[in-house]
Amino acid sequence: MHKIEKYLKEINWSILYLGKRVERHPNGRSFHSDGTYTVEIYTIYKDSMKFQLRIKVSGRKDYTLWDGGKLEILTLSQGDFIREFKRYLDNINKEG
């Protein structure tokens, strides 16, 4: 998470930790034998743009970016998340 926090600071975005949540895998398989896994949830924002960053912290980590209820980015490393987030922001700026 350190790389993502550093990158967001460099581009003047803010990050707010919202807490941890236990979620259930839809197929019943997960890191824990009971079909659950733990996710850390953050809000990242700048001006009028606001997204939710979810990091699966049990088992193999993954990094997801949500805009409202829509999944926009899914990666397995911080570096990939940063690269995809840059691309995502560039696309928003082109459309805007």
What average pLDDT does range 55-82 have in this prediction? 95
Q: Residue 66: CA atoms inside 13 Å, Cβ hemisphere, count?
A: 11
The predicted structure's pLDDT at residue 96: 63
Within 10 angstroms of residue 66's Cβ, the number of other Cβ atoms is: 14
The predicted structure's pLDDT at residue 15: 97
E-strand spans in 2-81?
Answer: 14-24, 36-46, 49-56, 62-67, 70-75
Contact (Cβ atoms closer than 8 angstroms) between residue 39 and residue 56: yes
pLDDT in tens, 10-63: 999 999 999 999 988 776 665 556 778 899 999 999 999 999 999 999 888 999
The predicted structure's pLDDT at residue 93: 84
Contact (Cβ atoms closer than 8 angstroms) between residue 53 and residue 72: no
